[in-house]
Amino acid sequence: MNKIRQIIRKKNKSKIVCLTAYSKNIAEETDKYADIVLVGDSLGSVLYNYSTTRKVSLSEMINHSKSVRLGIKKSLMVVDMPFKTYSTKNLALKNARKIIKETKCDAVKLEGGKKIINQIKFLIKNKIPVMGHLGLLPQTTKGKFKSKGKTSREINQLKNDASLLQKSGVFAIVLECIKENVAKQITKDLKIPTIGIGSSVYCDGQVLVTDDLIGLNKSNIRFVKRYIDVKKYINTGLKRFALEVRSKKYPTKKYSY
Ligand code: KIV
């Protein structure tokens, strides 16, 4: 069965695990536990300290994705299309084809609903698998990041967008920072899976930025749970190396030619 169908089939059966990766070594580990590995444009803030994901370029996404591809054996690999790379349907198709050709990923993710529905329909018509993304949209949010689904106007828009995305043929939708009751309702209404981030346990799956959950990136966002502090382990190793170099304990004959 194709990987996308396998993801859709998980709805109402088993929760979907999605993790980000920006390079081969992390991808190898995420691949062991995730159903979907996402090369998110969050790499802009996590790796490059950009103030916004808007600054991430297509070539940055492609280079990181090529590395990630090397680490993935089984998971579905999804790549974020960066800001302004899908402003028109022809541009979206040209760039999505480039991403897929150069990175061999399985699908692309675009942020938005009704406003970009023509681009999404056009990609799907041209056999490009698409993952949707609704709620908090980092690429187009100006100012402070706030949760979504608080007013009836916002709730209706989210529901309409989710339904439009499903009709247009996306295989799953990321719901970012959406109020619990709204995420729950959208998840119930849809036949395709929802992948939540800060949007409650009622979504069909969950995604987190791997660097956040392993403590490689310091993040104080409410939905981030830190499962381990890998920096501690890195520091232990690096400190020992530095000590041994300075005290001439490394390299011994064993490590020399
Ligand atoms: O860019 C990203 O990593 C994302 C996820 C957090 C959903 O879009």
CATH label of the domain that carries residue 110: 3.20.20.60
- Please tell me the total count of domains within the chain: 2
Angle between helix 180-189 and helix 152-168 axes, rounded to 10 deg: 30
> Of 124, 138, 136, 146, whose CA–CA distance to 192 is shortest?
124
pLDDT per residue over 162-199, tens digit each?
999 999 999 999 999 999 999 999 999 999 999 999 99
Phi then psi for residue 229, to 5 deg, are -110, 85
Catalytic site residues? 176
Q: 119 CB under 6 A from ligand 1? A: no
Q: 233 and 222, same structural domain?
A: no
pLDDT per residue over 219-249, tens digit each?
999 999 999 999 999 999 999 999 999 999 9
**C-beta of residue 222 within 8 angstroms of C-beta of residue 198:** yes
Q: 234 and 137, same structural domain?
A: no
Q: How far is the CA of 42 from the centre of ligand 1 (A)?
A: 6
Q: 257 and 179, same structural domain?
A: no
Q: 10 and 65, same structural domain?
A: yes
Shortest-distance atom of ligand 1 to CA 208: 6
Confidence of residue 59 (pLDDT cuts 50, 70, 90): very high
Q: 35 and 113, same structural domain?
A: yes
Q: 185 and 92, same structural domain?
A: yes
**C-beta of residue 149 within 8 angstroms of C-beta of residue 183:** yes
Indicate whether this model's pTM tops 0.85: yes
- From 209, 212, 222, give the residue whose CB has the most ligand 1 atoms within 8 Å, as the site to mutate: 209
**C-beta of residue 194 within 8 angstroms of C-beta of residue 187:** yes
Percent of the chain with pLDDT over 70: 100
Going by their DSSP bridges, the two strands 130-135 and 76-80 should be labelled as: unpaired
Q: How far is the CA of 37 from the centre of ligand 1 (A)?
A: 10
Q: 249 and 166, same structural domain?
A: no
Range of the domain at 208: 3-226
Confidence of residue 1 (pLDDT cuts 50, 70, 90): low
Q: 191 and 77, same structural domain?
A: yes
CA distance to 63, 110, 112, per residue, from 139 (Å):
20, 10, 9
Q: 80 CB under 6 A from ligand 1? A: yes
Confidence of residue 84 (pLDDT cuts 50, 70, 90): very high
Q: 151 and 221, same structural domain?
A: yes
Q: 240 and 168, same structural domain?
A: no
Q: 153 and 86, same structural domain?
A: yes
- From 64, 77, 80, give the residue whose CB has the most ligand 1 atoms within 8 Å, as the site to mutate: 80
Q: 9 and 99, same structural domain?
A: yes
Q: Which amino acid is at 201?
A: V
